[in-house]
Amino acid sequence: MTRIAIRPCPPQDAEKLRQGGIHPVLARLYAARGLNDPADLSSELAALIQPSGLLHIDRAAEFLADSIAAGKRMVIVADYDCDGATACATAIRGLRAMGAKVDFIVPNRFEYGYGLTPEIVELTAREKSPDIIITVDNGIASIEGVEEAKRRGIDVVVTDHHLPGDSLPDARVIVNPNQPACGFPSKHLAGVGVVFYVLLALRAELRRRGVFDAQNQPKLDSLLDLVALGTVADVVRLDTNNRILVAQGLRRMRAGRMHAGVAALFRVAGRATRSASPFDLGFALGPRLNAAGRLEDMSLGIECLLTDDETRAWELAQQLNDINLKRREIEAEMQDGALLHLDDFQPAESTTICVYDDSWHQGVIGIVASRLKERFYRPTITFAPAGDGMIKGSGRSIPGFHLRDALDLVSKRAPGVIDKFGGHAMAAGLSLRAEAFEHFCAAFEAVGQAWLSESQLERVVETDGPLEDGCYTTQFIELLDGQVWGQGFAPPVFCDEFRVLSQRILKDRHLKLMLEKNGIRFDAIWFGHTDALGERARVAFRLDANEYNGVTRVQLLVEHAESA
């Protein structure tokens, strides 16, 4: 079941924002998202939380400054998603600008698994001979890997944002806003955001040592296109601090001041940098980088972000695009297969979904889990074979069901069923023996039955209520597009009652509508939906500027509709 709801908006907060000079509709939207102070809307770098709030960041800066001075060899060990790739490129560019000898290695996820494992330490030692390993977007759970590095005389600096387990690795230094006792106000930094903060602290330390002054120090704001891309693609919460990082990155992109690889990814995706948006980063650039880590080797994506050669960047972007097309084909086949597995699935009888197919590709199971979660609105884990009798699962959740905590509870209630697990509230991964699959499914469903109420399993389309007639304009759409919307700061969805003048099905998949309200007609489209509406409908929609034959018109993108 799906229902439309209106997001509560404290009128006094909206009024305070209006008094601060904010557009009346934007004031209402911001207040409904928990803002009440115009200062929270600043997108200037000066408004960023200071690095000193991150636990151990000064220790990390001192250690890295000492290591640069001593000519120590550093190697970045990166994760294989877009956040990991941008974090790696940010670390390499920033550290080299400050005089470091630094290289990177990104393990093949299918051979080495996730995080700094002992096997990756052995590979890194053999191929790169580092004095120091720096993890980006991983490492907080790598207890055995850090021990192996220490055994080999390699220092480890962990930079991560994932939730820690019961114990921490014995690294030289850990910088993670989510580690115990860290009072950093923004717990939602992406891995690339943590790296950017470490670079800011390192630069400040090098200034204190007289290596740089304010005039000749490296300009770290040049890295903000990478920071914005990784932050949006990792779907972390866009709190005030993250919105500043993303807004600054988008500003650089729109001005044409971005790295060659980012520009090439925009071009290969057919997106215009002058109107760069969080949507472009999350749904056009991010998937092309992620595809490399899912199907092949993320070093291709990292190289694209590291090269300053525009021709090379374009070649790499085209390769990434080809891999992404292949990923889409695999995903479509897997999704069809998953729906066959779920042919008899009764949502009323289950709170969770677990599906395994021995023909599936483990690099794509996370996307399929996401699609199934959207379709059935249940916490979903999809599994693929991982060799040696093991299967690997990737899960996606719904609000109110903390996926990592659920896996933790399963591991405690059914010891030995899960081999390894980790992740966040909304996404997590795990591995187990193939013969334990049914046992795991039953234990996971038991947690779902205990934790989830009937109302939590009902999809709610949150809206911002009706939109004033005078705002159905391309100018107002430009105003909305100029803001930073995303995870935890939801893009505006409006809701109103319309008369349905006409409706027809496009390409056997989409419902094309002509709606009318107060004598004004609106083109509308409901993608992926073909069921007809009645004469009057309550419609939840987003505004879209649709360009056709050189003419731009307002179009309503339907999120949900019900006969009124």
Q: Identify residue 169 by its one-letter amino acid code.
A: P
Query: pLDDT digits over 478-533, tens only?
Result: 999 989 999 999 999 999 999 999 999 999 999 999 999 999 999 999 999 999 99
Which pairing describes strands 173-175 and 390-396: parallel, antiparallel, or unpaired? unpaired
Contact 107, 120 (CB under 8 A): yes
d(CA 422, CA 403): 9
In order along its 564 residues, the chain shows pLDDT tens digits of 889 999 999 999 999 999 999 999 999 999 999 999 998 888 999 999 999 999 999 999 999 999 999 999 999 999 889 999 999 999 999 999 999 999 999 877 777 777 899 999 999 999 999 999 999 999 999 999 999 999 999 999 999 999 898 899 999 999 999 999 999 999 999 999 999 999 999 999 999 999 999 999 999 999 999 999 999 999 899 999 999 999 999 999 999 999 999 999 999 999 999 999 999 999 999 999 999 999 988 999 999 999 999 999 999 999 999 999 999 999 999 999 999 999 989 888 999 999 999 999 999 999 999 999 999 999 999 999 999 999 999 999 999 999 999 999 999 999 999 998 987 888 999 999 999 999 999 999 999 999 999 999 999 999 999 999 999 999 999 999 989 999 999 999 999 999 999 999 999 999 999 999 999 999 999 999 999 999 999 999 999 998 888 888 999 999 999 988
**What does CATH list as the number for 49-321?**
3.90.1640.30
Buried b / exposed e over 12-43, threshold 16 CB at 10 Å, is ebbebbbeeebeebbbbbbbbbebbebeebeb
Q: Residue 498 pairs with which residues in a beta bridge?
A: 537
Contact 140, 91 (CB under 8 A): no
- DSSP for 402-466 reads -HHHHHHHHHHHSTTSEEEEEE-SSEEEEEEEGGGHHHHHHHHHHHHHHH--TGGGSEEEEE---
Three-state secondary structure call for residue 178? coil
Do the domains 49-321 and 342-457 sit in the same CATH topology, yes or no? no
Nearest to 158 by CA among 147, 174, 169: 174
d(CA 444, CA 477): 43
Residue 43 confidence (pLDDT): 92
- Determine the straight-line distance between the first and last CA of the chain, rounded to whole angstroms: 16
Tell me the Ramachandran region of residue 555: left when phi exceeds 0, alpha when psi lies from -120 to 50, beta otherwise: beta
Nearest to 157 by CA among 65, 224, 236, 293: 65
d(CA 262, CA 259): 5
- DSSP for 53-116 reads GSTTHHHHHHHHHHHHHTT-EEEEEE-SSHHHHHHHHHHHHHHHHTT-EEEEE---HHHH-SSS
Contact 517, 508 (CB under 8 A): no
d(CA 199, CA 89): 12
Residue 532 confidence (pLDDT): 94
Nearest to 258 by CA among 301, 305, 216: 305
Q: Identify residue 431 by its one-letter amino acid code.
A: S
Q: Could you tell me how many helices (H) and strands (E) the chain has, helices first?
A: 19, 17
Three-state secondary structure call for residue 298? coil
Task: Provide the residue ranges of all domains of the chain, joining segments of one domain with +.
Answer: 49-321, 342-457, 460-563
Fold of 460-563: OB fold (Dihydrolipoamide Acetyltransferase, E2P) (2.40.50)
Residue 105 confidence (pLDDT): 93
Three-point CA angle 361, 366, 368, nearest 5°:
80
Three-point CA angle 263, 283, 528, nearest 5°:
145
Write down the architecture of domain 342-457 according to CATH: Roll (3.10)
d(CA 6, CA 26): 16
Residue 112 confidence (pLDDT): 75
Residue 166 confidence (pLDDT): 87
- Residue 251 CB-density burial (10 A; 0-12 exposed, 13-18 middle, 19+ buried): middle
Structure token digits, residue 213: 């002054």
Residue 348 gets which letter from DSSP?
G
d(CA 532, CA 505): 9
Three-state secondary structure call for residue 333? helix
Nearest to 123 by CA among 137, 139, 104: 104
Residue 550 confidence (pLDDT): 84
Three-state secondary structure call for residue 388? coil
Structure token digits, residue 277: 């948006």
d(CA 10, CA 173): 43
Contact 540, 557 (CB under 8 A): no
